[in-house]
Structure 1
């Protein structure tokens, strides 16, 4: 008798486990499955695509930047110009002492005289030697880009690309979830239209 009871209890327990396994998550819908798979694919895309995009843009920017460094260093050269007149401070309510643009003169190695405008500190006296840069045409220009600046620009471009790629993936996920939610709400509304009359009759009874 005890053996029979043991087998029956064992059978009931096994049946219960099977029932729980079949209905472990009865609310899991096809839209939930689609959302899970889409999220999984997005993660794979991020793991593969984000580094690839950031490295590609960073490498391209670095290559372009190093070419600019070489070109500008070949086309620009440092000059020692002489300040023509005293550099009077420009009106500056904040009193920050910002550089002012003043006329300068210098002579090239071939004896050609040039005149231009360079930035100097306020209060600099006439005749002071000013270190600046000039292009091949003898015009004052900005210093050439350095290798460090090219590397920093490449890192920045890669970081911005990575951030933009992440934003696109997150927006894609948000858009997909929004579309699924609208579909779910529509399904819930349709089901409620069918069930609500039955519940109303039950409550009235």
Structure 2
């Protein structure tokens, strides 16, 4: 059972969110609350399916890339024969023995330090060589989650912009009403 203090906090949150019949609330306050609630409901009804759909598409693409790389790239131990480039980025040329025993040569760009004659573990396919391992499943899952969340955020930003612009207009209207009330009750205007 919840403590009395938690009910008080919950009731305070309910009133702060506008779920009360306070006589101090003006029509402009109620309209702003209704617009905010409508935009929130719109977001909550559209964001989950959109995020799920985007996440599924990214996941399917990632799984295809995983399978392609796993089928075509294989790990080989290579020897560095040439290093060209700057300190933080260099083009490395390596040689290795292919599956059929033929000598192969390939080049790739890396940020890792390489020395001529050193041994490297690289991944090669029929057209290229790289020091980047094939795509892991964890990256696919992470990309899918990021894609789903990103799609929901892309949906939410225009809705938030609409609310912010409406809030600005509601505030201007509210300030004009307050100024009119103050002018009405100003003691200098009472004759």
Short-chain TM bin: 0.5 to 0.7
The partner residue of 2:56 within 46, 59, 75 is 59
Counterpart of 2:149 in structure 1 is 159
Counterparts of 2:178 and 2:111, CA distance in 1: 73
Q: TM-score, normalised by structure 1?
A: 0.62
Instruction: Determine if the alignment matches structure 1 residue 140 to structure 2 residue 140.
Output: no
Distance 1:53 1:81, change over 3 A: same
1:22-101 pair list within 5 angstroms: 25=23, 27-84=24-81, 101=91
SS at match of 1:131: strand
Check conservation: 2:80, 2:114, Cα contact below 8 A: no
Check conservation: 1:102, 1:120, Cα contact below 8 A: no
Structure 2, unmatched stretches of 5+, are 1-21
Structure 1, unmatched stretches of 5+, are 1-23, 92-97
1:100-119 pair list within 5 angstroms: 101-117=91-107
Check conservation: 2:97, 2:103, Cα contact below 8 A: yes
Higher mean displacement: 191-200 or 173-182: 191-200
Counterpart of 2:121 in structure 1 is 131
Counterparts of 2:175 and 2:148, CA distance in 1: 40
The partner residue of 1:179 within 169, 178, 181 is 169
Counterparts of 1:158 and 1:71, CA distance in 2: 23
Q: TM-score, normalised by structure 2?
A: 0.65
**Superposition deviation, residue 153 in structure 1:** 1.1
Which is greater in Rg?
Answer: 1
Counterparts of 1:122 and 1:43, CA distance in 2: 52
Counterpart of 1:150 in structure 2 is 140
**Superposition deviation, residue 194 in structure 1:** 8.1
**Superposition deviation, residue 150 in structure 1:** 0.7
Distance 1:201 1:149, change over 3 A: closer
Counterparts of 1:53 and 1:145, CA distance in 2: 26
Counterparts of 1:78 and 1:38, CA distance in 2: 58
Counterpart of 1:4 in structure 2 is none
Distance 1:100 1:201, change over 3 A: closer
Counterparts of 2:112 and 2:35, CA distance in 1: 60
